[in-house]
Amino acid sequence: MSEHTIKATSRNVEGKGASRRLRHAASIPAIIYGGKSAPQAIQLDHEKIWLAQQNEWFYSSILSLDVDGKVESVLLRDIQRHPFKQIIMHLDFQRVDANQALRASVPLHFINQDSSPAGKAADVVVTHELNEVTVSCLPKDLPEFLEIDLGKLAVGDIVHLSDIKLPKGVELPELKLGKEHDVAVVIAKHGRVESEEAAAEAAPAEVPAAKVAKKDDK
């Protein structure tokens, strides 16, 4: 697990007006919560966070949040963006206990698809049903991503949640809920089948002839 340090400073003034002034000063209001400590209001440099949030690790890794020289381990739990401007409005960080299991969303990386039998076939469509999964583990075991090797993927194959190779100490809580939760992650099928299924979904429902005739009689 890589270490990523984010610098911040504490803030004493809260409220919409204070937050608005921070944003005008190119800073982001944020809060740290959880654990045995009280929630703490902080502020971060917008430019640095804007660059950091373009990386996967910002969303799925344990972050070392340095607030006025005091470092805490946290997970990003919420990010609020402006509806149309390139501005981050607010961030929520949750404190992490090294001895307590946590749940976090982890991105999926698909490798070797192009060299697989399905990837080489011109008439086969490979769909990624999921791009991330929720894992449960201790903070030290949290992976930045999970890799799925599609090198042997052939037409008709389906990769399920249970097929994902997990690092030691990492679990998928969804699989404990029953077989019906072992959903498809990747599906490889002929493009013709894909087109027929899409057409069937788009087609209007047929009205029984008896109902049509009865309507015409009125």
Whether residue 203 is predicted with pLDDT greater than 80 in this model: the reply is no
Identify the CA nearest to 104 among candidates 73, 138, 72: 138
What CATH code is assigned to 4-95? 2.40.240.10
pLDDT in tens, 144-167: 999 999 999 999 999 999 999 999
> The tokens of 10 are what?
């504490």
- Domain map (residue ranges) of the chain: 4-95, 102-202
User: Taking the complete model, does pTM exceed 0.85, yes or no?
Assistant: no
CA dihedral 104, 108, 109, 111 (to 10 degrees): 140
95 close to 33: Cβ distance less than 8 angstroms: yes
Tell me how far apart the alpha carbons of residues 50 and 66 are, in angstroms, rounded to a whole number: 17
Q: How far apart are CA 180 and CA 175, in angstroms?
A: 9
pLDDT in tens, 72-123: 999 999 999 999 989 999 999 999 999 999 999 999 999 999 999 999 988 8
Mean pLDDT over 13-36 rounds to: 79
Per-residue pLDDT band at 35 (split at 50, 70, 90): confident
Q: Which residues pair with 135 in a beta bridge?
A: 104
Which of 72-81, 191-200, 207-216 has maximum average pLDDT?
72-81
Residue at 97: amino acid letter: D
Helix/strand/coil (H, E, C) string of the chain?
CCCEEEEEEECCCCCHHHHHHHHHCCEEEEEEECCCCCCEEEEEEHHHHHHHCCCCHHHHCCEEEEECCEEEEEEEEEEEECCCCCCEEEEEEEECCCCCCEEEEEEEEEECCCCCHHHHCCCEEEEECCCEEEEEECHHHCCCCEEEECCCCCCCCEEEHHHCCCCCCCECHHHHHCHHHCCEEEEEEEHHHHHHHHHHHHCCCCCCHHHHHHHHHC
CATH class of 102-202: mainly beta
Residue 48 has pLDDT above 80, yes or no: yes
The answer on pLDDT for 44 being more than 80 is yes
Q: Are 142 and 166 in contact (CB under 8 A)?
A: no
